[in-house]
Structure 1
Amino acid sequence: MKDIERRILLGRVAGAFGVRGELKLESWTEPRSAIFNYQPWIVVSPSGQESTVSGVRGRDTGKHLIARFPDVDDRDVVEAMRGTEVYVARSSLPPPKPDEYYWVDLEGLDVKTVEGVSLGQVSHLFSTGSNDVLVTRGDRERMIPFVQPEFVKSVDFDANLVIVDWDPDF
């Protein structure tokens, strides 16, 4: 069973916005403004200082995602927050829909071909814009397009296993 209290990186403070303590926020949620739905946040400064914050409000201006932290109303304080990462506990996210996955839930799963050849474990995933890519590490690193059902045949969390239709020599 996966550790449900794992942290998920949802965004990062990009800098100050205006002079009243608002900040620009990068968000990797879809849609990007959904980041405000998942609170409390665990914020980690570039120096590693960690705190928990609730009640962050924000808006999407189209160009930027703008946020206001409670009790922060000074541009200098916000500038010092540049690079701060925003995490949430995995347990605070809603369950994924059928055939959808949080990338963090796939990390560490064993990967085998449809013929039973082990390709290692899921290291991480990344997006290319056209599709996501599953990166496995075993005897070597492999990058497999996360395209269902063409290449990724099944994901079985109970068996800790991803089955792929992939040439082990590729």
Structure 2
Amino acid sequence: MSEQLMVVGEITAPHGVKGWVRVRPETDLDQLAGIKRCRLFWPDNKERLFEVEQVRPHRQIWLLKLKDVSSRDEAEALRGALWMIRRDEAPPLPEGHYYVPDLVGLEVVTVQGESVGEVSEVLFGPANDVFVVRRSGLPDTLIPAVREVVKEIALNQGKIIIDPLPGLLD
């Protein structure tokens, strides 16, 4: 049985001289408070498991400190790696919060039952997140992840139910 992995972020550069790295996030930092381990994957299929010492926000990115990475040169060797965790190692989220991999692939339907499309990506914005919805035969549409629009996220049914504002789906 293969394990389900989820991308947490991509290591983009070293930070300082003590082994910290910069991470472009793929999920919210507050969701990662309990993470103790991470796996790094490189494009050449190399994989390595690390213990997480600390994760903290820094502007629009995160800073990550891994055990046994203590110099800038060691941190530089991690550049380009994808930080992944096993889905079952992800900490539980408060009600109303979701991991991106759980949302991608969900069908988006209106409150009237009309199919809009499928979530292909989640964008993180300064005011709110946005669902990128792939539509059959139409350009992708952006759905703001706000209560006024998103009425229900039903993971068990594989659906996100929306009440689109006028013009949102045009």
Segments of structure 1 that go 5 or more residues without pairing to the other structure are: none
SS at match of 1:53: strand
Is the 8 Å Cα contact of residues 15 and 63 (structure 2) preserved in structure 1? no
* 1:89 to partner: Cα distance: 1.1
* 1:104 to partner: Cα distance: 1.7
* 1:62 to partner: Cα distance: 6.3
**Residue identity opposite 1:17 in structure 2:** G
Matched residue, 1:112: 109
**Residue identity opposite 2:135 in structure 1:** G
**Residue identity opposite 2:54 in structure 1:** G
Matched residue, 1:82: 79
Segments of structure 2 that go 5 or more residues without pairing to the other structure are: none
Q: Deviations over 1:11-45 (max 9, x none)?
A: 52521522xx51233263424xx757313211113
The answer to whether 1:15 aligns with 2:11 is no
RMSD of Structure 2 on Structure 1 (CA):
2.9
The answer to whether 1:43 aligns with 2:24 is no
SS at match of 1:124: strand
CA shift in 2, pair 1:99/1:50, >3 Å: same
Is the 8 Å Cα contact of residues 111 and 136 (structure 1) preserved in structure 2? yes
CA shift in 2, pair 1:46/1:87, >3 Å: same
In the alignment of these two chains, the number of paired residues is 161
Q: Could you tell me the TM-score, scaled by structure 2's length?
A: 0.77
Aligned-residue sequence identity (percent) comes to 26
Matched residue, 1:137: 134
Matches within 5 A, 1:49-64: 49-54=46-51, 56-58=52-54, 60=56
CA shift in 2, pair 1:146/1:116, >3 Å: same
Q: Distance in 2 between matches of 1:74 and 1:94?
A: 29
Is the 8 Å Cα contact of residues 29 and 57 (structure 2) preserved in structure 1? no
Matched residue, 1:65: 63
* 1:143 to partner: Cα distance: 0.5
Q: Could you tell me the TM-score, scaled by structure 1's length?
A: 0.77
**Residue identity opposite 2:154 in structure 1:** D
Structure 1 stretches (4+) deviating beyond 6 angstroms? 61-64
* 1:145 to partner: Cα distance: 0.6
* 1:60 to partner: Cα distance: 4.9
Higher strand share: 2
Is the 8 Å Cα contact of residues 109 and 117 (structure 2) preserved in structure 1? yes
User: Paired residue for 1:93, among 86, 90, 95?
Assistant: 90
